[in-house]
Amino acid sequence: MILYDKLWDTMRQRGVSQYALIKTYNVSPAQITRMKRNESVSTHTIDMFCRILDCQVSDIMEYIPDKDE
């Protein structure tokens, strides 16, 4: 499972709010919701967040093996 918990910490460290993502960077609120729910997002979305936050992929997401596997 991919978790986006690190995204919220990185946003806090960079001083970027969800409001700023939507209003300043034109990020879709639906994309933010998908990431809050740890749902699938495209690599384009990951790339966009890395550019906005000036960070690496590992700063916004991590892979955690499912317990069932």
The model's pTM is: 0.86
- Which residues make Cβ contacts (< 8 Å) with residue 53, sequence separation at least 6? 10, 11, 14, 16, 59, 60
Domain boundaries, the chain: 2-63
Q: How many CB atoms lie within 10 A of CB 4?
A: 20
- Residue 16's φ and ψ, nearest 5 degrees, are -110, 120
pLDDT, tens only, 34-47: 999 999 999 999 99
**At the top level of CATH, which class does the domain 2-63 belong to?**
mainly alpha
Beta strands in 1-69 (DSSP E): 2-3, 62-63
State residue 69's pLDDT score: 60
Cα gap 36→29, rounded to integer Å: 11
